[in-house]
Amino acid sequence: MSAQVGTVLDGKYEIVRSLAAGGMGEVFLARHLHLDELRVVKVLRRDLVTDPESQQRFLREARLATQVKHPNVAILHDCTRLEDTGGFYMVWEYVEGEDAHRRLEARGPFPVPLVLEIGIQALRGLGAIHTQGIIHRDVSPDNLMIFTDSHDRMRLKIIDLGLAKTLAPDPRFEVTQTGTFMGKLRYCSPEQASTGEGAELDRRTDIYSLGLVLYELATGVLPFDGAATPAAVVRRAERDPLPMAGRNPDVEVPEALDGAILKALARDPDGRYPDAVAFIEALDEVRSGLGGRGVVPLEIAGPRKGDGAPPKEAGVTRAGPARRPPSPSRAGELSREERADLLAQIDRAARRVREATKVVKNAEDALEHGRVDEARRIVAEIERASPGAEGLRRLRDRLADIDELEGRRARIAELERLVTGYIQKKQAKLARLALEELLDLYPIHPRRDDFESWVELLQGESEEEARAAAAHAAGREALADGDLDAARRQLDALRRTGVEGATEAFESEIAEAERSAEREARSERRRERFDTALAAGDWRTAERELAALEGSITRVGASALAARLAEAKERAEADAAEAPFERRFAARLAAGDWTGAREAARALAARRPDSARPEAMLTEVDDREERQRHDAAVADGERQIERLVAAGQADQARLALSILLRLDPANRRRRAFERQIAALSK
């Protein structure tokens, strides 16, 4: 029997309509006839039924799915073989909602609070998958189903483990050929695209893919242009992703969310979050910074419960098993031996049926009395001896339901241990996250009030510790800046938090800083006295202060001060040697004896050939002599103008004034001369 619309698989799954067709199989919406519940049936494609590798991959998906029991991962209900084709089919939980890809195309970028909620729930599911030693390898928006629960809260489930891979070296689960790319180019990690080159994958490849998904859900675009082309995928290993801020001008992305997602998109896996828990903590911190969880309206397009199933009056025929036409009668009568042999076969068949029925009844009794292990053993014996025994499938279904219930109980117990452990370790954030997951799984938990009170109390203690840490950090920063008053104020704030241990240690740090500041102040005063003595030529005082400083400053600093002292002494000695020449030079200069002044400068040059002073002296003599000649020429010009004015020679006086102004443009008597010459011209 093939999976066609209207047919019934194994007497209980009625095919309602086709949902999708992929590389490995076809997906249908089906109704469980006995439970009146919608399910999803995935059937191995008819043309792959005889391909051993395709069968192994199909069964691998089922085997891996049975290892994961988590509210954020779709549940596998059943897996069996089709009688007519020999192919396999799986029965999955039906999620009434829409995938993230379809919603993004229909409505554009998601609100930031919704992106955070999707990311946290998806990471919870990935964490459960990774805990079983499995990586998904196909994290993408169309594999994230979004729906609302009975309380109108947004929920998410990860679907399609068709490309999942166990990290354990189990040949039953690894059927991918070496060098074959598995996944979607648009959302694969750099190392996933390089698997053909020997790259090893771990859980961080799923972290990267989810980072790409969240980036796209928030902005509507991916962080790389041409992200679905092989060349663009190669560039991911060579370039950092573009920041989310400004990627879409119509979308505002908080800086904290940008940083959290870009860390997940680090090119080097060692630069990413090591696991799903670390990524959850980062997103939860962003969510806390935005003011808590909040309520985000969620509109889900797609069928609601019961949609898509044709009404009973629609005339859908439920096909039963085909009847075989009666075999043609043999010609003639049976011989006595043949009749005896046939009766013996019938008797043996009837005996096997009675025995199988009795064993099935024993298994059912064991289940009724809670002896599950005994029931499993009996079912295993029936499967080996009589795989088609009546009631066997019913037993399998009951055991599967028990497994699901036990898995749920085990997960609840595990979460209870996690919550208790995180509370004992005072890890408030992790305790709150684990408690949220526990209450999602078991809303009426008998210890709910106790757990919530403890987490709330722990959160308060964590806030006090955070305030203490902030005061301590601010105080240490003030110490680094040398602001002891500000450090003391932060110490008072630290005392008010009541956090033990931190106050005493920080008080010791401040005391040590104050002692260090006092030592530096003493050293500074000694440096000032050293500088004063050096300027005054008081070598003894300078040497005494230098000796006192050597114990409180670095060796390099002490050497620099000693060099300054030696240089000052050398300069003083040079000044003393040059003094007689300076006095002789000054006397000759004052007397206007330019020749004598030059001789004094040359004598100093002969005595101190390395000194620059003689050259300066000669320059000064030249300047003074030139200035004297200039002043004499100006005085002579002024006297000539006075004589010409007195003689009434206006033109000659005007010419003499122009010559004087070329020599001395700012002559102090210019205005007077001009008035006198103008008066002569009238």
Contact 436, 71 (CB under 8 A): no
Q: Alpha-carbon distance 321 to 226, whole Å?
A: 52
Q: Alpha-carbon distance 101 to 109, whole Å?
A: 10
Which amino acid type is present at position 168? A
Contact 634, 626 (CB under 8 A): no
Q: Would you call 259 exposed, middle or buried from its count of C-beta atoms within 10 A (0-12, 13-18, 19+)? A: middle
Contact 652, 621 (CB under 8 A): no
CA end-to-end span of the chain? 139
Question: Would you call 138 a catalytic residue per the annotation?
Answer: yes
Closest by CA to 207, choosing from 191, 184, 189, 219, is 189
Tell me which DSSP letter residue 296 carries: -
What is the token pair recorded at 648?
């009434």
Task: Calculate the alpha carbon distances from 592 to 300, 459, 588, 598 in Å.
Answer: 107, 93, 6, 11
Q: Which of 78, 99, 138, 206 is catalytic?
A: 138
Closest by CA to 543, choosing from 561, 570, 567, is 561
Task: Calculate the alpha carbon distances from 205 to 30, 215, 264, 276 in Å.
Answer: 34, 15, 10, 11
What is the token pair recorded at 547?
């000796």
Q: What angle do CA 577, 578, 583 make, to 5 degrees?
A: 125
Contact 418, 434 (CB under 8 A): yes
User: In sequence order, which residues have a C-beta less than 8 Å from that of residue 562 and are 6 or more positions away?
Assistant: 546
Catalytic residue positions, numbered: 138
